[in-house]
Structure formats: structure tokens, C-alpha cells
Structure 1
Amino acid sequence: MSTISVVALLAFLTLTVGMGLGEQGVNLRCRCISKEKKPIGRYIAKLEVIPTNSHCEETEIIATLKGNGLTICLDPNVSWVKKVLEKRKAGKKP
């Protein structure tokens, strides 16, 4: 095989592996860039807690809002968010 063929094959394999990871829903970075600090607890329909991992060093809390289904990142260090998480762990809806 010529050098050009080997390079082309490696480039093709790299692209297909990278696309495969994206299709599987693997996030290679943090999802939350900005975080909401204002109390919006009564508007939350669903909470998703993403623990720290190799791609993001922070715990991420993503809220889906009632009505419009908009997703918002919440600041896990704010007291009202901590209360919502405690209620969720106790089995109550936020």
C-alpha cells in the first residue's frame, strides 16, 4: 500500500469512529455553559442530574420546564436548588 492510501484509510477510520460516538449520545464536554441562580422551582417539570465524569469536572443539573419544555442548567451551589434535590431524593416532586 502506498503512503497516501494508508493516510486516507486512517482518516476515514477516524471520521467514522468520531461520528459513531456522537450518534450514541456521548458528550465529550460539559453541557452547561451558564447556570440559572434565580428560583424557578415551581416551573420545573423534570430534573436530570449528571454526575462528574472524565469530560466534565462539575455536577450538572438540567431542568426541563413545564409548558414549553425548555431546558435550563441550574447552579448546584444555590440553596433553592439543593432543597429541590433533597425533595427529589425524598421521593417528592420538585
Structure 2
Amino acid sequence: MAPAACPAAAPSGPRFLRTAMLLLLLLAASRRAAGAAALTELRCQCLQTVQGIHLKSIQSLKVLSPGPHCAQTEVIATLKSGQEACLNPAAPMVKKFLQKRLSKGSSN
């Protein structure tokens, strides 16, 4: 004689599948959200730098010091158009621009 299947022990049907899929999607979304923050913090943001940005098109600068996320200084310019561009911190133009901004900030 074959054992009788217990309906409570083995859930089946579209409701169970829907619940299982929802749980899988929630798990994947929470891992992706948690991993996204870690990825941006654990690597350099500037993989390439651009050349020849006119100083008047720069709205603001963000300077990221070397740290565990990246071994080099990074200079990220936000342009008046809203785009961001990575600048070479060793370039004479960038050094001059940073010096000018620092001297303006200390005189205020």
C-alpha cells in the first residue's frame, strides 16, 4: 500500500508558487541594494580622467582623498550641464583651479 499524501505537508498550487517567487525577488532585491553601496565604496570612482575641460564650465569640485576604497586622489568635477567628469589631480590646470578655490574659501 502506498502512503497517503498529506495536503498540509506539501503545499502546491499557484498561490504557493506566487509566494515563493515573491520571496526570491525580495531576497535578490535586498542583496542587490546592500551590495550596491558596498561596491561604490570599495573601488575608485574615477577609472579614466578627461582632458581639456574649460574651467568656466565647472560648477563644483569634489576631492576624494586616498583611502581603503582607492589608493589615489580623485577629483570629480560637476559641470554646469549636470554631468560629472573625473579630472587628473596631477594636471597643472586642476592644481591651479584647486588652489584658486582653496584661497577663495580661506578668505571668506
TM-score, reference length from structure 1: 0.69
Distance 2:53 2:33 in 1: 38
Mind listing any 5+ residue stretches in structure 1 that lack a counterpart? 1-11
5+ residue gaps, structure 2, are 1-26
Residue in structure 2 matched with residue 89 of structure 1 by the alignment: 102
Contact 1:37 1:78 in 2 (8 A): no
Task: Indicate if the aligned counterparts of 1:35 and 1:75 stay in contact, CA closer than 8 A.
Answer: yes
Q: Distance in 2 between matches of 1:24 and 1:89?
A: 31
> 2:54: which partner in 1?
40
TM-aligned CA deviation for residue 20 of structure 1 = 3.3
Matched pairs, number: 77
Tell me which of 60, 63, 71 is aligned to 2:74.
Answer: 60
Q: Distance in 1 between matches of 2:38 and 2:83?
A: 22
Matched with 1:5 is none
Change (3 A) 1:35 1:20: same
69 and 25 in structure 1: CA distance in 2 versus 1, 3 angstrom threshold: farther
Structure whose CA Rg is larger: 2
Asked whether the equivalents of residues 43 and 65 of structure 1 are also in contact (C-alpha less than 8 Å), the reply is yes
Residue 27 of structure 1: aligned partner: 41
1:37 CA displacement: 2.5
2:93 to 73, 80, 88: 80
Give the number of the structure with larger relative contact order, counting CA–CA contacts within 8 Å between residues 6 or more apart: 1
Higher helix share: 2
TM-score between the two structures when normalised by the length of structure 2 = 0.61
Deviation at 1:57, TM superposition (A): 0.6
Q: CA deviation at 1:21?
A: 5.9
